[in-house]
Structure 1
Amino acid sequence: MKIPVLSRLLKSRASPKNRLYGSTYTFFFGGTASGKTVNERTAMQTTAVYACVRILAETIASLPLNLYKYTDMGKEKAIDHQLYYLLHDEPNPEMTSFVFRETLMSHLLLWGNAYAQIIRDARGQILALYPLLPDRMTVDRTTDGQLYYEYRKDTGYVILRPEDILHIPGLGFDGLVGYSPIAMAKNAIGMAIATEEYGGKFFANGASPGGVLEHPGVVKDPARIRESWNAVYQGSGNAHRIAVLEEGMKFQSIGIPPEQAQFLETRKFQTEEICRIFRVPPHLVANLDKATFSNIEHQSISFVVHTIRPWLVRLEQGMNKALLRPSEKGQYFVGFVVDGLLRGDYASRMQGYAIGIQNGFLSPNDVRTLENMNTIEHGDIYAMNGNMLKLEDVGAYANTKRKEVSQ
């Protein structure tokens, strides 16, 4: 009796839908309040979006990615496992690990989802990982509640099982399909596109406001005069040329100068808005207005803790779930190495290493490994300062305890 009930529950379960498709697609993309069309490709033509996506994708792709094995002493690299080579060096014959992870991160940041096809042999061992375009993928359920992935190729559609897909979803409403940050923030990005286009047209028109030519009499052929004026004075290459006005004509400016319209301030604010979308400190996209020598290091560390780390956890857990067999999940795990990003200046690092060695939780070889140096003989010894004593053996307290014991 339990099986039919469970079957009905599975059939009645709401199917995960990628809301960027179907009848609601135009709600997310398309027109904006600024009148500009925003999608993943037009957004990348904005310098702030391109810079944020590049910084996040390249930073995460440059971090060492290892497969570890649990041991009695903690963990060690599982270099003998086939998955270690795929993740650390070459996920497929066409890509390096850096390019593969950079591609997945760019998909996550633009579309809100990252997909990769898992190629296995007859024994189920993973042979390669190939990224798939998110805008061609649809996630759905069968009538009995089973997940499946439908990928649109140039020659038709391919149905893929969940075990054949590495899916890293971003922030979403159903926990299965992420939503595009570009779609969610389309108005802010659209305004950035509009201000950039305005600046381009401003210089295309000679870096001077529009205006009118006033004639004291009746102009018989105004179109000819306008075309003649534009041919000589329009465009940034013709800026500052001396105008020659005939028949008593006068030029009257009617435009608003950009400084009065706060054009540059608007562009800076939109850059900060886009940085806010991706949680990237403005100084990383060359906006140094609020950066100082005293706080830029702490901003960089905060960037690692509050921006990079959540993405790393999302990637690690997604890879552990999709790439490890059930029998391996208690023995192996995927992990990024972020120690290099958290290191301070040289003097601070040396002071921290000295404290670690003196207090016995670091060895000289631990320090040399962190500094990318070869280990040395006898460098694995953990030692502590010999002046440290137990409280019961210190001074008057120890003498009082001894007297109590003798009595």
Structure 2
Amino acid sequence: MSIFDGLFRSRDKPSNRTAGSGYTFYMGGSTAGKLVTERSAMQMTAVYACVRILSESIASLPVHLYQYESEGNKAKAVKHPLYRILHDEPNPEMTSFVFRETLMTHLLLWGNAYAQIIRNGKGEVIGLYPLMPNRMTVDRNSNSQIIYQYQIQDSDAHTGKTGSVTLKPSEVLHVPGLGFDGLVGYSPIAMAKNAIGLSIATEEYGARFFANGATPGGILEFPGTVKNPESIRESWNKGFSGNNAHKVAILEEGMKYTPISISPEQAQFLETRKFQIDEIARIFRVPPHMVGDLEKSSFSNIEQQSLEFVKYTLEPWIIRWEQSLNRALLSETEKPDYFVKFNVDGLLRGDYQSRMNGYAIARQNGWMSANDIRSLEQLDLIPDELGGNLYLINGNMTKLQDAGIFANKENNNEKVLEVEEPDGAGESGESKPKHSDPGKNPVPERHHR
């Protein structure tokens, strides 16, 4: 028996709990007395908003398969069979957007995203189909190799199989979330069930308050003895609760009404609900302004918060996706030459003036051409004969090693020429250098600056 058998023998389904490495986080009842599951949590507006924002953000990013070329360049591998599956259509039943949105929703609710990989006889990927995480069990066989067991239901496509099917790691695209063992992620809903349960409780309290609360409400005082108090109470609730709330009450025979109800503001009901929205946004690391809480947002910082959302929230998810796709979909011979990459340039564009200033700096320093800029702005390219692909640089800039080239030329032109004697001074008629007499004024030497 392998040592791994005791550690990773059974992975319970996330539908009722998530477990691993000795830690168990049960789904279900919370300390607020409310049942918390993935589906009940999605009925909370804050949870639904966070899941929708992250799922749609990941799904809307362009994803491409690239191939390394010479000198460190890369190009889109559009002729590779995997390119169309990732970029356009992973299977005949859904688009790439819907596929990634579905898997990202599973990842946020259950902590794991699974998809079955369909290959042809050559081992090439020809299709990807999402699998429900609450029906997947990750286990190890007798040889300590990871296996995936999936429960088949009647709602699945008819494959002629019933019960459970065992899939090999090469047949499953698994994107795990945060976990303790690196193999299976844990559901954020299970981790934060008490915070979500409190949100459900406060929302239900508010719904009951406005649906069933009698308005006006308080104590009915009657001089003397009330023979049938239940009848009076039922008559009052029937006349002034529900759809009849806020109607004018007419009192008879000295009856007096004293309101004693506490408003939701006095009970800090609204503050509690607002805090729970921030609490849920904190779970998914989504800026509050993206779920409708603009209390701490302004025109001066909302753009910076959006950039931080891309950097600190989306970037870890993107890297998790990219590495899982590279590991599961590329063969060992393809991994040195190909890689999957999400493009986040569209989310980091900034406002128009900031983009133009950035393009101007890049253009003047020679690391972007006019066509590079126009392609980012979705504009038609300039033909080569008009200089669309030229990389320019300011004329007052040069390499550091050539910084003294003009100074050296100037010094060469100013070299001191030796003074020659008149003709016939030498025996052969050649001119000789004229030596200065120590007693006479020497020829002044020219000093270089």
TM-score, length-scaled by structure 1: 0.91
List runs of 5+ in structure 1 lacking aligned partners: 1-6
SS at match of 2:331: coil
- Aligned counterpart for 1:269 among listed residues 275, 295, 315: 275
Q: Residue 199 of structure 1 aligns with which residue?
A: 206
- Aligned counterpart for 2:395 among listed residues 375, 380, 386: 386
Question: 1:310 and 1:328, CA in 2 relative to 1: closer, same or farther beyond 3 A?
Answer: same
Contact preservation (8 Å) 2:150, 2:166? yes
Contact preservation (8 Å) 1:68, 1:76? yes
Q: Residue 293 of structure 1 aligns with which residue?
A: 299
SS at match of 1:128: strand
CA shift, 1:115, in A, is: 0.4
Is the counterpart of residue 221 in structure 1 residue 228 in structure 2? yes
Correspondence 1:299-310 to 2 at 5 A? 299-310=305-316
CA deviations over 1:141-173 (Å, ceiling 9, x no partner): 012101111111224211111111000000001
Contact preservation (8 Å) 2:215, 2:246? no
Is the counterpart of residue 245 in structure 1 residue 243 in structure 2? no
Q: Residue 290 of structure 2 aligns with which residue?
A: 284
CA shift, 1:394, in A, is: 5.4
Q: Residue 68 of structure 2 aligns with which residue?
A: 70
Correspondence 1:6-405 to 2 at 5 A? 8=2, 14-15=8-9, 17-18=11-12, 20=14, 27-72=25-70, 73-154=72-153, 155-206=162-213, 208=215, 210-235=217-242, 237-378=243-384, 379-391=388-400, 398=407
Question: 1:93 and 1:23, CA in 2 relative to 1: closer, same or farther beyond 3 A?
Answer: closer
Distance 1:350 1:295 in 2: 20
Point out the structure with max Rg over C-alpha. Answer: 2
Instruction: Specify the code of the residue in structure 1 equivalent to 2:302.
Output: I
Distance 1:202 1:22 in 2: 31
CA shift, 1:198, in A, is: 1.3
CA shift, 1:224, in A, is: 2.2
Contact preservation (8 Å) 2:13, 2:136? no
Greater helix proportion: 1
CA deviations over 1:238-262 (Å, ceiling 9, x no partner): 2220112334333333332111111
Question: 1:229 and 1:344, CA in 2 relative to 1: closer, same or farther beyond 3 A?
Answer: same
Distance 2:256 2:383 in 1: 88
Contact preservation (8 Å) 1:18, 1:177? no
Question: 1:320 and 1:30, CA in 2 relative to 1: closer, same or farther beyond 3 A?
Answer: same
CA shift, 1:398, in A, is: 4.2
Contact preservation (8 Å) 2:77, 2:83? yes
CA deviations over 1:307-349 (Å, ceiling 9, x no partner): 0010000000001111111111111111100001001111110
Alignment: residue pair count? 399
CA deviations over 1:196-226 (Å, ceiling 9, x no partner): 1111111113574753333333333333222
Question: 1:391 and 1:163, CA in 2 relative to 1: closer, same or farther beyond 3 A?
Answer: closer
Contact preservation (8 Å) 1:13, 1:145? no
Instruction: Specify the code of the residue in structure 1 equivalent to 2:139.
Output: D
CA shift, 1:294, in A, is: 0.7
CA shift, 1:126, in A, is: 1.4
Contact preservation (8 Å) 2:99, 2:130? yes
| Percent sequence identity over aligned pairs | 62
CA deviations over 1:247-280 (Å, ceiling 9, x no partner): 4333333332111111111111111111111110
CA shift, 1:401, in A, is: 11
CA shift, 1:52, in A, is: 0.6
Contact preservation (8 Å) 2:13, 2:134? no
Contact preservation (8 Å) 1:88, 1:97? yes
Distance 2:203 2:87 in 1: 40
SS at match of 1:34: coil
Question: 1:256 and 1:401, CA in 2 relative to 1: closer, same or farther beyond 3 A?
Answer: farther
Q: Residue 3 of structure 1 aligns with which residue?
A: none
CA shift, 1:138, in A, is: 0.7
Distance 2:203 2:41 in 1: 12
Farther-moved stretch of structure 1 (65-74 vs 91-100):
65-74
TM-score, length-scaled by structure 2: 0.83
Indicate the structure whose relative CO is greater, using CA pairs within 8 Å and at least 6 residues apart: 1
CA shift, 1:21, in A, is: 6.7
Instruction: Specify the code of the residue in structure 2 equivalent to 1:79.
Output: V
CA shift, 1:19, in A, is: 7.2
Distance 2:213 2:103 in 1: 42
CA shift, 1:229, in A, is: 1.6
List runs of 5+ in structure 2 lacking aligned partners: 154-161, 416-447
SS at match of 1:242: coil
Distance 1:338 1:289 in 2: 28
Contact preservation (8 Å) 1:10, 1:144? no
Distance 1:190 1:330 in 2: 47
CA shift, 1:30, in A, is: 1.4
SS at match of 1:274: helix
